[in-house]
Amino acid sequence: MATQTSFLPKTAARLDRMPPYGFELINRRLTQLAASGVDVIRLDIGSPDMPPPPPVIEMLKRSADNPKFHSYGSYRGLPAFRKAVAAYYARRFGVQVDPDKEVLPLIGSKEGIVNLALAFIDQGDAVIAPDLNYPAYTMGTLMAGGEVIFMQLDPSRSYLPNLDALRAHPSLNRAKLLWVNYPNNPTGATCDLALYDELIAFCREHRLLLCSDNPYAEVVYDGYRAPSALQAAGALDCTVEFMSLSKLYNMAGWRLGACIARQPIIDALLVIKSNMDSGHFRPMYEAGALALNETPQSWIDERNAIYQARRDALLAACPSIGLTAFKTSGSLYIWAKVDDGNDAAYVESALDQAQVSLTPGAMYGPAGKGYVRLSVGIEDARLQEAIARLQAWYAKRH
């Protein structure tokens, strides 16, 4: 009898343009180590280790008990959640938006970031992304068949964009979107409102849509207060902003975010989104609305004080583990240069010898080579153990 073989169609060409997602590879490795009984401490992932405010959890429970709240919801999300997003932007940034026309709830901001590229980018178009970036900006572009133009984040200017160098890029005239992200992932760099004024002027000059990814606006230290790109004069005419409750209220696993933009942009994004997924579970929206409307500033301040203490502990430890750190006043991260310049070898050795998982800087773009990212999203005792392990490991190497 002839042996029957299975048939597998050739994968789409877009897969050839896209590397596997970096954290998926990390998770595979850590799963294998855990199965072997290895206790790995994770400083690689930017996920809050603390829970959301207790009333948010209670609202989820109460809402889930309602038997009428388990059917499909609207693709535009619950009106109460849209209104809560708009009210947050008015209260926090002084920005007025129409919750029915200029706010679109998302299943986490990552979904919207990728779908925005699918809504606006065709073959031959280009997207400008920082040379240190959250990978969704570039992956969405590649999925859509576009070209990525890297915009330098200048280390000598605290990782602010170098627009003068960008003006000389030969493909600038094909660009349609420009991504910016402050407080920044992975560097933790911050900006003031003047940067957004400069970026909006640049985008107007070159007919670009400014895409602001702003999930860390409330994860800040040292008295810094992060702005929104939408605060700049005339911003809404050429700007789209993404916000997320993942870092805002420690709700990463809830996958709840929103896009804020003019109605034509919202409508274009909704065409893609509604063909790919449905609305969120209603109790999620109700809990999210409560978080936005009722979480006191004192809760955010107390949470940030814990993060700041962890940041300070990591900054103090960096010289003793072969790293030179950039001091940040925002985000969940420490961005540090590997003293011997080899981020991949450093991360591999730290995992194998110290059982501490870090993120190689090269995962975040071409300028990340030679750097590592460390997260403060880890319980205090485990952070101290991770530092002790890294110090002992590095002392043996040197």
Return the CATH number at 267: 3.40.640.10
Domain span at residue 268 reads: 54-294
**Residue 273 forms part of a structural domain:** yes
**Residue 339 forms part of a structural domain:** yes
pLDDT at 16 > cutoff 90 = no
My answer on whether 196 and 319 are in the same domain is: no
**Residue 20 forms part of a structural domain:** yes
- Domain end call among 277, 294, 311: 294
My answer on whether 62 and 91 are in the same domain is: yes
My answer on whether 304 and 278 are in the same domain is: no
My answer on whether 202 and 345 are in the same domain is: no
My answer on whether 281 and 357 are in the same domain is: no
Domain count, the chain: 2
Percentage above 70 pLDDT, the chain: 97
pTM for this prediction: 0.93
Q: How far apart are CA 61 and CA 58, in angstroms?
A: 5
Report the run of H or E that residue 272 belongs to, with start and end: helix 263-276
Q: pLDDT tens across 132-191, in order? A: 999 999 999 999 999 999 999 999 999 999 999 999 999 999 999 999 999 999 999 999
Cis peptide before 51 (omega within 30 of 0): no
- Domain end call among 252, 267, 294: 294
- Domain end call among 233, 268, 294: 294
**Residue 3 forms part of a structural domain:** no
Q: pLDDT tens across 348-366, in order? A: 999 999 999 999 999 999 9
CATH number of the domain enclosing 336: 3.90.1150.10
Look up residue 247 and give its amino acid.
K
My answer on whether 65 and 41 are in the same domain is: no
Q: Is the dihedral of CA 93, 95, 98, 102 positive or negative?
A: negative
My answer on whether 40 and 143 are in the same domain is: no
